Structure 1
C-alpha cells in the first residue's frame, strides 16, 4: 500500500513524539540520581516541563512547519475558492504560537499578571484568561472561513484543534484547579508524580494536535491544489492554437 505524503509525515512525527515521551518519563524517573534536584543535564534537555530544550524546540518547530504550509496554501492555486487572507492569518497565528512555545511568552505573561490579579482554581495560571479571550475572538473571526472549507477538512481542523486545546488550555486549567484544591501552592510541585503526569499529558496532547493538523493540511493540499500543466506544454498548446486560428481566418482548413 502506497502511503501519501501526509501519512508518511504523520508517522514520522508520531515516532518522534513517542521517543520524546519515553525520554521525558526516563528523565523524571532518574531524578534520584541527581539527589532529587532537577539540575541534571539529561533532565534539562529532555523533560517536558523545562524551557528551551529538545521537546520545546520540537513542539515549536511543529508550529513553524504548520505556519509554512499555511502560507504555501495561501500562495497556491486551489480547485476551490482560496481565501488567501484566511490562510495567511492562520500562518501568522501559528508562527506566534511556535515562538510562544519556545520562548515561554505565556509564562512570562503569567508572572506579570499574577502580581496584579489574585486568581485560583481553573484560573490559577492567569495567562489562560487573556489567551482564552483571544481564542474566542479568533474563532469568531475565522468561523465563516473555516466552515466554507470541504467537510472532511472541517472535521480534521476541529479534531486537531480539540486535541491541541485540550492540552494547551484544558490540562493547564485542570492543573491549576488541582494545585488550588490540594493546597499545593508554594510547594516544590515539579517533582510530584501527579504534577508530572499532568504536564506530560498536556505537552503530549499539544504535540499530537499540531501533528494531526499538519497531516490535515497536507491532505487538503493533495486533494484541492490545482494541477498545473508543465510550462512547455502550455507554450506548445498556445502556439498551435494561434497557428490554427490564423489558418482558418485565411480560409484554409488546416495549418
Structure 2
C-alpha cells in the first residue's frame, strides 16, 4: 500500500518487494513455506506412530505429509505458476485467468473424496479444526484467486483492488495453516501422547547423559465419532 498512498522514502521499493504477500522468495513466502514444512513434519511424526500401531489410516497420514511437503516447495518457488501456459489452450479470461485453478480444482475434488472417510473417523474436535483449516486454505488459495484473476485480466495487476484481493488470499492461506498446525499439535498431545525429537552430534569424547522424560499418556480415539461433544 505504501507504493500507492505514501510518498517516496528510502528503501520503499525494497521493503514493498520484501513484504509483498503476492511476491516470490520474500519474507511472506518463506514464512508460508516454513509453516507448510512444519505441518509436513508433524504429519510425518503422526504417520510414524500410526505405522508402529498398524493403524488402518497410516498411509493417509503419510500421503498428507508428502502433500504438505510439496505445498511447501511450491510456496517457495511458485511452481504452480508454470501452469499459466494453459491460458492459451483454454482461452481463459475473467475468473479463470489464472489457469492453474482448473487442474488444481480437479485434484482438490479427488483429495476430498479420497479423504472423506479419514476425516470422518477423526475425533470431533480434530475433525472440526481440519474442516475449518481446509475451508480457509482452499477458500483463500482458489476462492480468492478467481476474483484476483478477473481483476488481473480486466484492470491489470498494478492497482489497489488487485493488491487487496491477493493480500486477503494469502492471509486466508496463512490462517488456514495456523489452524491446521493447532489441530495437529492438539491431536498429538491428546491422542498420540506427545512427540519428541532428539538430535545427537557425535564428538571425540562422547559422554552419556541421562534425561528424565515425563511421558504423556495417549488417549484412544473415540470409537463413536458421531456423538457431538
Contact 1:167/1:203 (8 A) holds in 2? yes
| Higher normalized contact order (CA 8 Å, seq sep 6+, divided by chain length) | 1
From 103, 112, 123, the equivalent of 1:139 is 112
Moved over 4 A (4+): 25-30, 77-82
Counterpart of 1:207?
174
- Mark the CA change 1:227 to 1:174 in structure 2 (over 3 Å): closer, same or farther: closer
Q: Confirm whether residue 44 of structure 1 aligns to residue 11 of structure 2.
A: no
Q: Distance in 2 between matches of 1:27 and 1:153?
A: 42
1:129-152 residue CA offsets vs partner (Å, 9 max, x unmatched): 001101111111111111111111
1:38-84 residue CA offsets vs partner (Å, 9 max, x unmatched): 98221221111211001001001110000000000011259995621
Q: Confirm whether residue 225 of structure 1 aligns to residue 199 of structure 2.
A: no
Q: Distance in 2 between matches of 1:147 and 1:140?
A: 12
- Mark the CA change 1:85 to 1:79 in structure 2 (over 3 Å): closer, same or farther: closer
Counterpart of 1:197?
164
SS where residue 87 of structure 1 aligns?
A: helix
Counterpart of 2:87?
114
For these two proteins, the number of residue pairs brought into alignment is 195
Counterpart of 2:8?
33
Q: Larger % of helix: which? A: 1
Aligned CA-pair RMSD: 2.7
Q: Distance in 2 between matches of 1:164 and 1:155?
A: 14
Q: TM-score, normalised by structure 1?
A: 0.69
**Stretch deviating more after TM superposition (117-126 or 53-62):** 117-126
1:75-100 residue CA offsets vs partner (Å, 9 max, x unmatched): 12599956210111000001111111
Q: Confirm whether residue 76 of structure 1 aligns to residue 38 of structure 2.
A: no
Q: Confirm whether residue 63 of structure 1 aligns to residue 36 of structure 2.
A: yes
- Mark the CA change 1:29 to 1:211 in structure 2 (over 3 Å): closer, same or farther: farther
Shift of 1:107: 1.2
- Mark the CA change 1:120 to 1:39 in structure 2 (over 3 Å): closer, same or farther: farther
Shift of 1:103: 0.3
SS where residue 141 of structure 2 aligns?
A: helix
From 23, 43, 53, the equivalent of 2:26 is 53
- Gapped runs of 5+ residues in structure 2? 196-211, 213-229
Q: Confirm whether residue 164 of structure 1 aligns to residue 107 of structure 2.
A: no
SS where residue 178 of structure 2 aligns?
A: helix
Q: TM-score, normalised by structure 2?
A: 0.77
Contact 1:48/1:56 (8 A) holds in 2? yes
Q: Confirm whether residue 97 of structure 1 aligns to residue 81 of structure 2.
A: no
Q: Which one has a bigger Cα radius of gyration?
A: 1
SS where residue 81 of structure 2 aligns?
A: helix
Contact 1:123/1:177 (8 A) holds in 2? yes
